[in-house]
Structure 1
């Protein structure tokens, strides 16, 4: 199929609308409502989000990761600090998250600064992970590095699993831990007919009781 044929595959969105008077004055509360809706609708991978970063030279990188928590402090995810995302965030500590739930014709963009969470918080989360995931964090390094074969990766996992067979409390790797994105802005998108989509953006506003103002954006 060529690109010119894709015009016949357009979807005319029409599952909902997004009005200022219907949304929460607090963007985190609005996000959690939409996330809960996605969970209730049993959408595939509701916690999956695109994490977009840029390195020190402004070159962008994007990948899908999983949201591991959200509260008044920000949005949490975990990674190898030596990964591409870790290197990007060390050089340029800003990122954007994108949640897309096609079944609901909704997406959310969240832009903000990113910082590492404390070593204590990372360690506590690490020990909540399944044992195999704990071992994989040790084996999968340097993340994004080149490895000769799948078989070699699996052998490294098996070898370390055997070495740690009698260890009940596996130590967290020093190169692995959590990040928190502290939002500067949110954008909520609802697909609408004729590409006249609804877009509401939350921006900080000290003059508001909630600390945020809402603007409607052109589609």
Structure 2
């Protein structure tokens, strides 16, 4: 195999350091700044985040999902509630996400508890999706479960495509909706020269948010 040795893959992180005075007092305010900068940098899908949950067996499991909104209360993402991650989050609402913005030498970790969004917010977002994505939600009712082949999925999609006219609204499936990740810990990581990275963690306490620097 003629591949580069992973142990020899190194990228220097050059640029201005991150200091405590650069940070907002609240983590989601700081996230807003960094997310805007990630978007403006031209990163492909800066809203892509790696979501980790805990299986009923105790085994952690990760996958990439797309953040579809955020505010002072946390991050929002949508999925099939009966999918593997949906079932895991229902059994154990603890979750953690990471935004891997390595191209701009940054990453953000958000950990906390998830809560389901209400029907009104779910319906509003589902109605904003392209029709093809709406049909895909119906076709993937058995998300994360085995299927015979791609042809089976295509047949399901074509079948739902005939249920509603092109000019007719597609309703949201009852098994599909959103979660809000309410943070109790948020870490901002910025790559530094010679692996002397800057890391700041926001921790929620009874007295509010506490910010502390972590060793790289």
Normalised by the shorter chain, which TM-score bucket?
Answer: over 0.9
Q: RMSD of the alignment, in Å? A: 1.7
Counterpart for residue 20 of structure 2: 20
Counterpart for residue 215 of structure 1: 212
**Mapped partners of 2:215, 2:3: distance in 1:** 26
**Mapped partners of 2:2, 2:25: distance in 1:** 44
The range that moved more, 3-12 or 180-189, is 3-12
Counterpart for residue 190 of structure 1: 190
Query: Contact between 1:16 and 1:190, CA under 8 Å: does it hold in 2?
Result: no
Q: What is the Cα deviation at residue 142 of structure 1?
A: 0.8
Q: What TM-score results when the alignment is normalised by the length of structure 1?
A: 0.93
Q: What is the Cα deviation at residue 16 of structure 1?
A: 3.5
The 1:7–1:166 alpha-carbon spacing in structure 2 relative to 1, beyond 3 Å, is closer
Q: Residue 199 of structure 2 aligns to a residue in which SS?
A: strand
The range that moved more, 86-95 or 163-172, is 163-172
1:143 aligns to 2:143 (yes or no): yes
* 1:22-43, Cα deviation, whole Å (9 max, x unpaired): 1111111110100000111111
Q: What TM-score results when the alignment is normalised by the length of structure 2?
A: 0.94
Q: How does 1:90-169 map to 2 (within 5 A)?
A: 90-165=90-165, 168-169=168-169
Q: What is the Cα deviation at residue 171 of structure 1?
A: 1.6
Q: What is the Cα deviation at residue 71 of structure 1?
A: 0.8
Q: What is the Cα deviation at residue 206 of structure 1?
A: 4.1
Q: How does 1:54-73 map to 2 (within 5 A)?
A: 54-73=54-73
The 1:99–1:169 alpha-carbon spacing in structure 2 relative to 1, beyond 3 Å, is same
The 1:10–1:136 alpha-carbon spacing in structure 2 relative to 1, beyond 3 Å, is same
**Mapped partners of 2:157, 2:11: distance in 1:** 44
The 1:3–1:109 alpha-carbon spacing in structure 2 relative to 1, beyond 3 Å, is farther
Counterpart for residue 83 of structure 2: 83
The range that moved more, 160-169 or 93-102, is 160-169
Query: Contact between 2:29 and 2:72, CA under 8 Å: does it hold in 1?
Result: no
Query: Contact between 1:16 and 1:191, CA under 8 Å: does it hold in 2?
Result: no
Q: What is the Cα deviation at residue 165 of structure 1?
A: 2.4
The 1:166–1:20 alpha-carbon spacing in structure 2 relative to 1, beyond 3 Å, is closer
- Aligned pairs, how many? 216
Q: Residue 152 of structure 1 aligns to a residue in which SS?
A: helix
